Structure formats: C-alpha cells, structure tokens
Amino acid sequence: MRSNLLLIAMLVVVFVPQVIALDANLSKSLYAQGETLLLRLEGNFLSPIKESEILFVSNRQEIPIPLSVSKLQDIYYIFAVLPLVERNYSLVLKNLHYLEARKEKRQDLEINFSTSGNVSEFSVTPAFISTTDDFSLTLQSNLVPVVVSVKFLDKAVVVNIPADEKKEVKFSTSEINKTVLTYILLASQKQAYSLPVYIKKSPAPPEVKFISFRQEALNLTFAPGADFETTIFFISTGDFDIQFGVTDSLKNLTTLPADKLKASAGEQSFVLRVRSDKEGISTGSITAKSGNNTLSIPVYLTIKNNNTPLENLPVISASKRCVELNGKVCKAEEKCEGNIESSTDGNCCMGKCVAKATGGSSKWPWILLIILIIAGIGFFAYKKYKKAHSSSSEEIIKNKREDYESRFAPKKTSETSGSLSRT
C-alpha cells in the first residue's frame, strides 16, 4: 500500500509541472505569404494576455501586422494574416504572467517562423470562433481566383472567389442544442485550414405542453334520432399536436372532427357531434393528450323526449360492470372525485368515492332534539296545570253544595212538656 502511494506521489511531482507549464503550439514553422497564422497558447495564466504586448519582429524591427486574441478557459488563440512578403519572423509575447510548478513566473516568450516565396491561395478571418449564435467567416483570395471547399458539421459548400476579392460565408448553429468544440475545414487546391469553433448553448428549457378546457363539464340534453352539435373550447400554450379521444361509454354516441389536431398558442375550438336513436343517459369524458400530459372533461348525456320522466331513462352504452372498468359505484352519501364511466351497475367512478359535504344539514338532529325537549316540557306543564285546575273546581262545587244544604235544610225546635191551665 505504501509503495503504491509513493509511486502516485512521484508521478504527480514528475508530471504536474509539465501539465501546467506553457504550451505554445504553432501549426508549422514555414508559412506561405498571405497565409493565416494561428497560435494556440495554453497555461495557468495569472494575468490576461493583451494585444499590445504581442509583437511581430523581423531583423530586430517590429513589423506592424494586425492580430486578434481570443481566450477559451486556459487557452489563448492568437491569429493574424501574414503580409505578402518573404521574411523571417519572431512572434514575441511580452511579460507573460503564469504559474509553473506551483511557482509564479513572469517572462517573455519568443517563437520563430518564416514565410516562403510561395503565395497562399487564400486567407481566412477570424481563425478562431467563440459564439452562442450564427456566425460568418471572410475568405480573401490572393492574386488568382480560387475555389474553396467549406465543411462544417455535416454540411459542405463550395465557394468561388475571384482574384484579390473577399467573400463572406455564413454558418448556422440552429441544429446545435448543446455546448460543443468543433472545427471548420476549408481547403483549396494548395491551401487548407482547420479552424476551432466553440459554440456555447444553454440547455433548452423543456417545452411545456399544456392545454385547458374552458368548460368544467358538458351537460347535454337532446332528443333521440337527431344529430346534436356543441362547440368545445380549449386553450393551448404553444404549437404542438393534441390527441383527442372519448371514453368507451361515449364512442357509439359521439364523433370528433379528428383524432389529432394541430394546436397553436391561444384559444381554439372544435365541434363535437352527438347522436343516439334511443332514449337514455350516458356519462363519460373527453380526453386531450399531448406528450405526457393528459386532461379530461366529464360529459353527461341525457337523451329523451319532452314527456319522458328522467327516472324512467335507462343507462345506455354500458357494456361492462363497474368492477370490470376498475372503478367503484359510490354510495348515496358519497360523490365521485374523478371521471365517471357508464356501466351496467350505473355510474362508475374511476377516481375516489368521498363523503358528500353536508354543510348546514348536520344541525338538524340538534334542532329536532331541542324541539322534542321543549315539547316534552310543555306536555308535562300542561298535565300539571290541568290536574290542579280540575281539583279546584270539585272543591268549589262541594263547598257550594254544603252551603246550599245549610241554608235550606229544616230547622230543629225544642219540645215543651207540661199541662195547660186557665188563668
């Protein structure tokens, strides 16, 4: 284990300085006159490289040659179109400030090259492209007409340039959806270039495919034996295909204009045609699907003549039991949250059966209880009052009878005994 760690440490010490040292790559040392020069310079730079600190020198004299500097991460690209002169050059980069072997350095860099007696057929500018959008190159012929073949990605074009003239070639990046470093190849009979192109693309946001129906539900009532039409409005967030359909319970009763519609951003509509030759009721839904998004709108159909009571209407277009549709039949005190399908068992809930909101009806039991209590209290009070009232009347009658008897009964007289005598 220790030997492996020691080996890794030695490799780091040996190779790291080489990786972070300056790497100046000039494609060749001998150029044709009028050719485009491209220098690739890589390193751990601590200060930016300025155009004013880059010189072309020949015989100890500075030669004014227009140049451009571009940077991509830790790599600098320096390019220029060389004069139509045979000459020896030194490309001097002054006061480079960089890190090497974990040490800060400042020094000049000098690269030697020459131009031969031959003249390049054409030059190209710029020689390095960094872009987020479409771009173009300018091709310049030298002295004679030239035919240049240009290849970028999977496309190739041929450009004819008259003698000593320029031509602009445009390139599109619309087919590129991610950041990429690629190359443009340009070639004539005697000249060729391979130019780096860095195209930066932000990840494209996922397309949001969203639709919504204006109506919350469709409640349609019509007579049997006649065609009935209704307009359904929906809103789309963009331009994409929408696939419309109906549930099985409505397939024999409804007709859509097409299985798939090309939607555009904004509000649109389509006509739904409905027909049934017999009376009845049917429920289902219209579905709209785009990508992974699906939306539905419930549909309730009532097909009857004017004199037919609703309770006598049968369920039509139901060929399966609710359990076969993987649904539930909700109880009387429940309602369905979700789509409703027709089944031989009646309305089949494809979602969840939940308790109906009772609202104020929950107070009625208490109200009835209070009424019963009040009625009971009133009843017992009445009975007590009635009993007290009856007792008082009997006593009054009894008293009056006794009073009457005492007033009209014959009085008792006292008897006298003895004899009569003459006085």
Q: What HEC string does 183-240 produce?
A: EEEEECCCCEEEEEEEECCCCCCCCCCCEEECCCCEEEEECCCCCEEEEEEEEECCCE
Q: Does 308 have pLDDT greater than 60?
A: yes
Q: Does 20 have pLDDT greater than 50?
A: no
d(CA 111, CA 54): 11
Q: Residues, the chain, total?
A: 423
What pTM did the predictor assign? 0.48
Question: Do 138 and 274 reside in the same domain of the chain?
Answer: no
Question: Do 51 and 173 reside in the same domain of the chain?
Answer: yes
CATH code (residue 264): 2.60.40.10
Give the pLDDT band of residue 395 (cuts 50, 70, 90). low
Task: Say if CB 235 and CB 215 are below 8 A apart.
Answer: no
Q: How deeply is 44 buried, as exposed, middle or buried, from its count of CB atoms within 10 A (0-12, 13-18, 19+)?
A: middle
Among 233, 339, 366, 342, which Cα is nearest to 285's? 339
pLDDT for res 367: 78
d(CA 72, CA 196): 11
Count of domains observed in the chain: 2
Q: Which amino acid, 417?
A: S
Residue 169 belongs to domain spanning: 22-199
**Spatial strand order in the sheet of 240-246:** 218-222, 293-303, 280-290, 240-246, 260-263
> Which is it for strands 254-255 and 228-236: parallel, antiparallel or unpaired?
unpaired
Domain assignment present for residue 296? The answer is yes
pLDDT for res 9: 45
Domain assignment present for residue 380? The answer is no
Domain boundary among 168, 199, 230: 199
pLDDT for res 318: 53
Q: Which residue has the higher pLDDT, 127 or 378?
A: 127
Q: Does 38 have pLDDT greater than 70?
A: yes
d(CA 156, CA 198): 19
175 secondary structure, DSSP code: T
d(CA 246, CA 252): 10
Q: How deeply is 247 buried, as exposed, middle or buried, from its count of CB atoms within 10 A (0-12, 13-18, 19+)?
A: buried
